């Protein structure tokens, strides 16, 4: 299937590691031009160099997205480089364990890590998206629907993101801009591994989680998330908007008892 993404410009937040890296690589495989906005520099610069060697653009933009000013600068940097934006993928986020005990200041910081930059990046990219009749894909979490315990800020952020998906799909329909969200549940990434390593017996817990995933009892791969994201931004999904799509091996919605 030709996804029609050759030379389309995609801004991916948090594209240096984990799911974001998978998304960046899937877009590049389709011939898109990528602006990767990430806080740490090492992996992003390495990706940029790797694809430059192949004659492809994976332009690295350093920014801590918790700063709304940095979100504006990052979007401008993408425009300076490419002159247009066809899609924004709001992927950056962290399950930071800010619970009900942590207090309002920590809660607001968690919203800044997980939700406010989604608004800010999309806001600053809006004129460019209107010009291209582009699309937005957000990366949510099953936690918005299932809860997890001990992570109020993250749960509220990802719930807010689902709300914005519906809200923006309506707001932007007249501009021909589509907005969708992809929900991972259990994807093996640096973030996931770090979280699991805080548990008393990580390998036993990993095996237990795998047993709860109905389809093939395994973690979803970052490539499986990425391919759905790429499809949703492409003209091949031209009448899909406001959707919250679970790429999770059936984890969130099916009976998760051992089979």
The DSSP code for 46 is H
In whole angstroms, the minimum distance from the beta carbon of 240 to ligand NAP comes to 20
Catalytic status, residue 154:
yes
| Pick 63 or 213: Cβ nearer ligand NAP | 63
Q: Which is nearer to ligand NAP, 198 or 239 (CB)?
A: 198
Binders of ligand NAP among residues 93 to 112 (CB under 6 A) are 93-95
Q: Does 184 bind ligand NAP (CB under 6 A)?
A: yes
* Min separation Cβ 16 and ligand NAP, Å: 4
Among 60, 192, 231, 251, binds ligand NAP (CB under 6 A): 192
In the complex, minimum distance from the CB of residue 66 to ligand NAP, in angstroms, rounded to a whole number: 5
- 124, 154, 192, 246: which one is catalytic? 154
Site mask for ligand NAP (CB under 6 A), range 6-45, x = bound: --------x-xxxxx-----------------xxx-----
DSSP state of 187: B
Q: Which residues contact 240 (CB under 8 A, 6 or more apart)?
A: 178, 180, 232
Helix residue ranges per DSSP H, 136-198: 143-146, 152-173, 190-196
Which of 141, 228, 233, 234 is in the footprint of ligand NAP by CB under 6 A? 141
Asked whether position 201 contacts ligand NAP by CB under 6 A, the answer is no
CA distances from 211 to 199, 204, 214, 215, 258 (A): 18, 11, 7, 10, 6
Return left, alpha or beta for 189; rule: phi > 0 is left, psi -120 to 50 is alpha, else beta: beta
- Alpha-carbon gap, residue 58 to 45, rounded angstroms: 9
Taking CB under 6 A as the binding criterion, the range among 57-65, 79-87, 102-110, 167-175 that sits at the site for ligand NAP is 57-65
Q: Does 89 bind ligand NAP (CB under 6 A)?
A: no
Give the SS3 label for residue 259. coil
Q: Which residue has the tokens 């160099």?
A: 49
Burial 237-254 (b: 16+ CB within 10 A, else e): beeebbebbbbbbebbee
The set of catalytic residues is 154
* Residue ranges that bind ligand NAP, judged by CB under 6 A: 14, 16-20, 38-40, 63-66, 91-95, 113, 139, 141, 184-187, 189-192
């Amino acid at each position: 299937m030709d996804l029609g993404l050759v030379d389309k410009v995609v801004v991916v937040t948090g594209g240096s590691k984990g799911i974001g890296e998978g998304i960046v690589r899937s877009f590049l495989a389709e011939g898109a031009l990528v602006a990767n906005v990430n806080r740490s520099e090492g992996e992003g610069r390495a990706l940029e160099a790797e694809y430059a060697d192949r004659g492809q653009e994976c332009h690295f933009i350093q920014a801590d997205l918790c700063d709304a000013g940095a979100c504006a600068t990052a979007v401008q940097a993408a425009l300076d480089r490419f002159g247009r934006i066809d899609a924004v993928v709001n992927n950056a986020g962290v399950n930071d364990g800010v619970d009900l005990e942590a207090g309002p200041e920590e809660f607001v910081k968690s919203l800044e890590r997980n939700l406010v930059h989604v608004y800010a990046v999309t806001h600053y990219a809006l004129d460019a998206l209107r010009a291209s009749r582009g699309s937005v894909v957000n990366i949510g979490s099953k936690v918005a629907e299932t809860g997890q315990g001990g992570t109020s800020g993250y749960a509220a952020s990802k719930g807010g993101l689902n709300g914005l998906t519906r809200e923006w799909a309506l707001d932007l329909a007249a501009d021909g801009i589509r907005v969708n969200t992809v929900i991972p549940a259990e994807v093996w990434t640096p973030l996931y591994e770090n979280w699991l390593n805080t548990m008393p017996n990580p390998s036993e817990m990993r095996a237990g989680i795998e047993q709860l995933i109905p389809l093939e009892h395994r973690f979803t791969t970052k490539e499986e998330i990425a391919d759905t994201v790429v499809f949703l931004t492409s003209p091949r999904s031209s009448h899909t908007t406001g959707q919250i799509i679970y790429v999770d091996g059936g984890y969130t919605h099916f009976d998760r008892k051992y089979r």
